[in-house]
């Protein structure tokens, strides 16, 4: 390890989370493990392998580059790309045996320039329905009927028909109920059209855990795999985060009252204070929104002060600590803990926003069975 800033990923915890989630799903429901955005910052290949070993039936990525990376790692599970790809990329998707999300009849019209109907490989698709999230998908029956002739082509397999909920994590589920009703109506469109569809799915992590009856043929589990879920809304399951992140004090200094710290003189001491510099910054994903949040220095809470710079930040300490002392941004130190949810509350976001923002400048150390399995940063890997 060349740099004193690293994240630790507990693969055993990811596996245990998936096993626990499985208990909540109906037996007939398949589990699609969502490993997009580098598995929410945890490492896509490592997490995908762990998910498959724990029993995931499908994998899902956001973009074709992510899916190809997973496929090239040797994983054979079906992989769904959640974001529609450009029509000219269909031959690439077929080459890597990838399933595609489709949302428009016009996409099929353009796609036929790149995949003639009588080519040997079949195109497997999941049709996305927009029931109220307002992002991508079919909203009207007219749009669906325009797509039906394309879905009936002999070289097209409709593996899935799905939607995504906007408010599954909110206590008030009235809008969720509205989306459910819309999706059930859309399912009727598919039945009337007599399009063979292998899987209907509408539940992501929170919806699947709160309302298992919504799981249908498959549940798309993303955030919950990594231990992110609304505990108060789902009290009967216990999932734990698999991610922690640490660094070390680079330098200590004693500043006098009235001195400044950081760009734009963003912080001024109001007394004599110990200030520590830590080698992590916004280029690592620890954005300037984290100013005034806390870290743990050898188990002692300390506040981030001044503006966070690209490679370094400063913390205010209650006492002197030796240079090289361990600094914990997420996780346990001594008898203290900083949870990702605490940091998410600080920035007004969600836990997965924090972990997926951590760049590949930060070394990932993979732990399994209590020991270090291997390390990955960028293209550099160490195996133990």
Residues classed as catalytic: 36, 263
Task: Classify residue 182 as exposed, middle or buried by CB count within 10 Å of its CB (0-12, 13-18, 19+).
Answer: middle
Task: List C-alpha distances in Å: 229 to 77, 215, 259, 320.
Answer: 25, 17, 42, 38
Cross-strand bridge partners of residue 267? 261
In contact, 248 and 333? CB cutoff 8 Å: no
| Token representation of residue 191 | 């039945």
Closest CA to 25 of 229, 207, 298, 196: 207
| Token representation of residue 115 | 């995949």
Angle, CA of 345, 229 and 339, to the nearest 5°: 45
Closest CA to 366 of 240, 244, 249: 244
Residue 292 CB-half CA count within 13 A: 6
Closest CA to 43 of 242, 329, 283: 242
Does 71 appear as a known binding residue?
no
Does 310 appear as a known binding residue?
yes
Long-range contacts of 132-138 (CB under 8 A, 24+ apart): 132/165, 132/166, 132/175, 132/178, 132/179, 132/182, 133/163, 133/164, 133/165, 133/166, 133/179, 134/166, 135/164, 136/83, 136/84, 136/101, 136/103, 137/103, 137/163, 138/103, 138/104, 138/186
Taken in order 4, 381, 10, 291, is the CA torsion positive or negative?
positive
Determine how many CB atoms are found less than 10 A away from the CB of residue 93: 21
| Token representation of residue 327 | 């600094």
In contact, 136 and 143? CB cutoff 8 Å: no
Determine how many CB atoms are found less than 10 A away from the CB of residue 382: 12
Q: What does the alpha-carbon distance between residue 287 and residue 301 come to, in Å, rounded to a whole number?
A: 19
**Residues tagged in the binding site annotation:** 135, 310
Q: Which residues are annotated as a binding site for substrate?
A: 135, 310
């Amino acid at each position: 390890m060349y740099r004193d800033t690293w994240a630790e990923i507990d693969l055993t915890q990811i596996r245990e989370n998936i096993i626990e989630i499985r208990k909540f799903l109906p037996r007939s429901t398949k589990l699609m493990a969502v490993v997009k955005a580098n598995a929410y910052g945890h490492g896509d290949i490592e997490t995908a392998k762990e998910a498959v070993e724990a029993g995931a039936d499908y994998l899902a990525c956001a973009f074709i580059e992510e899916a190809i990376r997973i496929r090239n790692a040797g994983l054979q599970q079906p992989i769904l790309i959640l974001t529609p790809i450009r029509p000219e990329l269909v031959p690439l998707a077929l080459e890597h045996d990838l399933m595609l999300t489709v949302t428009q009849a016009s996409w099929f019209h353009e796609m036929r320039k790149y995949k003639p109907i009588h080519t040997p490989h079949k195109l497997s698709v999941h049709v996305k329905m927009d029931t109220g999230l307002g992002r991508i998908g079919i909203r009207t029956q007219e749009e669906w009927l325009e797509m039906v002739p394309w879905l009936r082509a002999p070289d097209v397999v409709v593996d899935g028909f799905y939607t995504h909920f906007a408010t599954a994590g909110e206590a008030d589920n009235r809008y969720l109920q509205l989306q459910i009703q819309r999706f059930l109506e859309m399912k009727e469109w598919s039945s009337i059209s007599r399009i063979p569809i292998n899987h209907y799915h509408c539940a992501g992590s929170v919806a699947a855990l709160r309302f298992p009856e919504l799981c249908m043929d498959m549940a798309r589990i993303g955030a919950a795999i990594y231990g992110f879920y609304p505990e108060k809304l789902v009290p009967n399951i216990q999932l734990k985060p698999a991610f922690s992140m640490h660094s070390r004090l680079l330098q200590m200094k004693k500043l006098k009252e009235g001195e400044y710290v950081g760009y734009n003189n963003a912080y001024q001491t109001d007394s004599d204070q110990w200030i520590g510099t830590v080698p992590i910054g916004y280029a690592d994903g620890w954005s300037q929104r984290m100013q005034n949040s806390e870290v743990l220095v050898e188990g002692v809470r300390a506040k981030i002060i001044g503006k966070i710079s690209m490679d370094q930040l400063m913390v205010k300490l209650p006492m002197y600590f030796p240079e090289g002392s361990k600094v914990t941004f997420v996780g346990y130190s001594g008898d203290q803990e900083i949870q990702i949810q605490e940091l998410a509350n600080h920035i007004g976001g969600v836990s997965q926003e924090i972990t997926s923002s951590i760049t590949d400048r930060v070394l990932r150390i993979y732990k399994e069975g209590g020991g270090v399995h291997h390390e990955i940063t960028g293209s550099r890997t160490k195996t133990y």
